[in-house]
Amino acid sequence: MAKKSKKQNIVKIYWNGDMSLARSFWLVSVVILGVVSIPSYFVTDAVIDNMGTALSLLLLLWTVFFYVFLVYVYVGLWRSSSKYITYNKKKKKSVIWGYVVYTIIVLGVLRGVGELIIAMSQ
């Protein structure tokens, strides 16, 4: 992958898929997304039932932020995988990790949609 100038915004670099696949996957989708998702482990139905208006609004804002961030992470990771595959095909190297990441993204989206359907049916 080509090096970008240091003046370019890291958010834009990730979004465009210009960050290496390893960094995109491990740093952004595992570590940073893992940290951002921590509040979701503490919010249960019992907690929501006992929330006041201000806390409910804060939860709503965090939920919107989380899903926007999740889309950002998946898009950047997908683009990084695409560039990884293209670059490695030209060099006649293995592209397996690009396809593994594609699979992880698809399974993550399907799991999320499945959980949403289950939650809405209850």
Question: Which is more confident, 45 or 13?
Answer: 13
How many other CB atoms sit within 10 Å of the CB of residue 11? 10
Distance CA 100, CA 72 (A): 19
Which are the contacts of 96, defined by CB distance < 8 A and separation ≥ 6?
Answer: none
Q: Quick one: what percent of the chain has pLDDT higher than 90? A: 70
Give the whole-angstrom CA distance, residue 116 versus residue 84: 31
**What's the mean pLDDT in 28-33?**
96
For residues 49 and 82, give the distance between their C-alpha atoms in angstroms, rounded to a whole number. 43
Beta-carbon contacts of 43 under 8 Å, excluding residues fewer than 6 positions away, are 59
pLDDT digits (tens, 9 = 90+) for 43-58: 887 888 888 888 889 8
pLDDT reported for residue 2? 52
116 vs 73, more confident: 73
State pLDDT tens for residues 78-96.
999 999 999 999 999 999 9
Mean pLDDT computed over 30-51: 89
- What are the tokens at 2? 């080509």
Q: Which residues contact 66 (CB under 8 A, 6 or more apart)?
A: 36, 37, 40
> What local confidence, expressed as pLDDT, does residue 32 receive?
97
- The domain limits of the chain are 10-121
> Mean per-residue pLDDT for 54-78?
94
